[in-house]
Chains A and B, each alone.
Chain A
Amino acid sequence: MATITIPTALRQYAAGNSSVSLDVETVGALLRGLVEQHPTLGRHLFSEQGKLRNFVNVYVGDEDIRYLEGEATPVSSGDTVSIIPAIAGGI
């Protein structure tokens, strides 16, 4: 089982869970499995084109999947995948 952690403000769309564990082989399958369990989370993670939204980042361990193999990045049992927002702004 790989575990995916959910940041604070997105837990309201995941029945309050701070993480979910699934038996999958890729990051993409983990993300899709998470959204299958909690459908309203989908539009907060993915654009209408089905791509990860601009300010949403996914890490396997310490590595951003954009610099790995994207959603095809393999995950093993015991891996932790983190959904992490980027926050920006300015006056």
Chain B
Amino acid sequence: MLKLSSDAAETIVRHAESTYPDECVGLLLGQIAGEAKIGLRALPLENRWAGQVSLAETDNAESRRDRFYLDPRDYLRADREARAAGMDIVGCYHSHPDYPATPSERDRVGAQGVGGGTSFAFVIQSVRDGQAAEVASWLLLDEGARFAQEELIIA
């Protein structure tokens, strides 16, 4: 389960709408309480996709409309910020412009460095015609073989 603060949810919505029709990406900072994650803050990062990794044969290094890349240097900076504030990185988010909030095969391939399990949320914010639509949180399970939706509470 992911409990997302309303501030964090609002930050994701604003970020996803502002980068439309491109995908946005960011991290969730907060705390882990057993199998639950508490996302206190959403940290918007730059989508630095430029074909750094191979996700599918259809990869286009120029297109951020259908690809995102969260640079490890940005992750490192966020990790330091989180630790200094007594928090952890409890997940990431990205947007799906004009596409449902369900993970794609490219999302699964690109998540393989994370580790999976219940301690890391993959939040997807759908955006349609520039307006934020549904949002959902997913867990990477079975050694990275599949995503499963988890409960998302915004409060």
| Structural contact, B113 and A8, CB atoms closer than 8 A | no
> Once the chains bind, are B55 and A87 in contact (CB under 8 Å)?
no
User: How many B residues face the partner with a CB closer than 8 A?
Assistant: 43
CB distance from A47 to the nearest CB of B (A): 11
Q: Is B120 an interface residue (CB 8 A)?
A: yes
Q: Does B18 contact A (CB under 8 A)?
A: no
* Contact between chains at A86 and B107 (CB < 8 Å): no
* CA–CA, A60 and B29, complex, Å: 23
The tally of residues in A whose CB lies under 8 Å from a CB in B reads 27
* Residue pair B115, A7 in contact (C-beta under 8 Å): yes
Which residues of chain A have C-beta atoms less than 8 A from B75's C-beta?
7, 84-87
Contacts of A87 in B (CB 8 A): 25, 69-70, 75, 92, 110-111, 113-114
Cα of A11 to Cα of B90 in the assembled complex, Å: 12
Q: Are B117 and A53 in contact (CB under 8 A)?
A: no
Q: Is B20 an interface residue (CB 8 A)?
A: no
CB-nearest residue of chain B to A58: B72
Residues of B within 8 A of A86 (CB): 52-53, 69-72, 75, 110, 113
Residues of B within 8 A of A (CB): 23, 25, 32, 49, 52-53, 55, 66-73, 75-76, 79, 83, 88-90, 92, 94, 96-97, 99, 103-104, 106-117, 119-120
Sample (13) of A-B pairs whose CB atoms are under 8 Å apart: A7-B75, A7-B115, A8-B88, A10-B115, A57-B72, A87-B70, A87-B111, A88-B49, A88-B70, A89-B103, A89-B107, A90-B110, A91-B96
